[in-house]
Amino acid sequence: MSDVREILKKRPLLFDGGMGTYYKAKPGQECEQANLLDPEGVLAVHGAYLEAGADAIKTNTFGLPRMAAAGNPLWEALTDEGWRLAAQAAAKTGAAVFADLGPAPDTESLPAAQIYTALAERFAALGAKNFLFETLSSDAGVAEAAKQIKEAVPDAFVLVSFAVLPDGYTREGRHCTQLVRSMTACGAVDAVGLNCVSAPGAMRTLVQQLGRTELPLSVMPNAGYPVVTRTRVQYQGRPEYFARELVGLAAEGVRILGGCCGTTPAHIAALRTALDALPEQLPVAAAAPVPTAAKPEVETDDAFLRKLNAGQKVIAIELDSPKDADLTGYLEGARRLQAAGADLLTIADCPIARARMDSSLVACRVHRELGLNVLPHMTCRDRNLNATKALLLGLYAEGVREVLAITGDPIPTAERDEVKNVYQFNSRKLAQYIVSLAGEGREMPSPLTVFGALNLNARNFDVELRRAQEKLENGMSGFLTQPVLSAQAVENLKKTREALGSRAKILAGIMPVVSQRNAIFMENEVNGIHVDAEIIERFAGLDRVQGEELGLEVSVKAAQAAAPYADGFYLMTPFNRIALMERLIARLKEEGVAD
């Protein structure tokens, strides 16, 4: 079996193409199951790529991480046979064999690192020395697994490859430069690269944007973009074009080349011929990045952030957008709250998953007309990655510098037959994606500040606090909390401040209770809110005026209790009562709780 490192010293290493798409074009079973059900068919595919000139082939085991995570007992037998078949095929030419591991799900109960490690140990016991983690959307668990591989097989060669869209981001919102940097820094990876999703031309542009890399770079694009005809998916990219684009990358320093979906032995043969025609001495690193034009200076923060970062207590106030298309009353309400002393207007994104005017569009209008800083809520529901990115770019262009990233409420059960949920990522991944849009050569000159939600009323607050720490690690700068309406909420707020210190800006949630009925409803039907029984009892028999007065008293006391542990307050407007919130802001200022 060829030594990969020795090949790389002399010339680029050529991999095979897309096993899955090429095998499926023939009669037979699903790809990985074919290791047991159609071994001759798998051997034939390996043989075709080797005959085309591949220096290395991948085991037919791409889908096994998901299979193992799902508890399918066949994963071990499929691993064994996948290795045996690839080794048998490669023995005829001396080609290198890579144990192929596709993406593994990453959950708290079963981390991706555990799945990868179990498979890698199985391969190592079979004699594997080369390992490929491919088509990944994140680096979850990879560094840990790579280190375990190096401990078991010190001379192992580990290649990690990410599936990246033409704009440089994975489907989980990670930019390729971040991922390449992460794998380089881990110290247990020998080469890093990109594969799948993008066609050769787009991937060549991505490589130029990456610039020089410390580790050897791998590039394995699709043959082109898929064309769906009835039940078949076809790739129409021609082998000559594929070879021309990739040999150009080799001339610029890419050391590992191959193909992914839609690439056939014909594509690999064309690339083999092109590579063999190159001069012997080639650069060993990728080309320098394409220079970009200087961008004009833009405001990177705003009055709200400057006040918050100066240590002054800020006031953010939430006002739900209209249910109809008329913004007249809403803008007047926002103007009144601004005059009362609100530093920031927050706008929910279709709370309880019921349609209202879009929070981001409303935020842009308020900011444009009033000059008031705004914090539109952005849920993971109902937008895929493309729609999210488009919206964020529009917000930035309109001068919006803060967003609140939350998972979002699911569509109510009664409406699911007509309205479907779309969840591509959670709030942590959304935050990570938002902050990754800024940087050299990126779409935004400066990052947006991302806030998240913190439920002080969570039954298992230790879990909630751990998630808050993960949110900070993924790019969030602070949190807006659920309402403080109990002694336990204050205690959890104190615990949060002690755990997170100055790393997080915390706006304590304050929501005036206006009646006993209102209090009982929130306690029983609103997720994330807990109202002390004592507070509920105090509202018994009160009329509207009395209820509002007591609500103000309770809210001010809650703010006073929360103040030592908070950087400001997040006021929630009940039933669109603007006048009540004007009075609350005035009381907070009179009591010296807010600056």
Binding-site annotation: residue ranges: 196, 260-261
**What does the alpha-carbon distance between residue 344 and residue 218 come to, in Å, rounded to a whole number?**
47
The token pair at 176 is 């390729």
- Say if CB 268 and CB 14 are below 8 A apart: yes
- Say if CB 504 and CB 468 are below 8 A apart: yes
Query: Nearest to residue 81, comparing CAs of 102, 104, 58, 61?
Result: 61
DSSP of 95-107, one letter per residue? Answer: -EEEEEE------
Q: What are phi and psi of 575, to 5 degrees?
A: 55, 30
Task: Give CA angle at 218 (211, 52), nearest 5°.
Answer: 140
Q: What are phi and psi of 586, to 5 degrees?
A: -60, -45
The token pair at 522 is 């929130």
Residue with tokens 């953010």: 316
Say whether 85 sits in a helix, a strand or coil: helix
Q: What are phi and psi of 541, to 5 degrees?
A: 80, 5
- Say if CB 436 and CB 442 are below 8 A apart: yes
The token pair at 120 is 């890698």
- Say if CB 188 and CB 163 are below 8 A apart: no
Residue 194: strand pairing partners: 162, 219
The token pair at 66 is 């998901």
* DSSP state, residue 510: E
**What does the alpha-carbon distance between residue 79 and residue 148 come to, in Å, rounded to a whole number?**
18
The binding site for Zn(2+) comprises 196, 260-261
First CA to last CA distance, the chain: 72
**What does the alpha-carbon distance between residue 176 and residue 163 come to, in Å, rounded to a whole number?**
9
**What does the alpha-carbon distance between residue 357 and residue 349 come to, in Å, rounded to a whole number?**
9
* DSSP state, residue 198: S
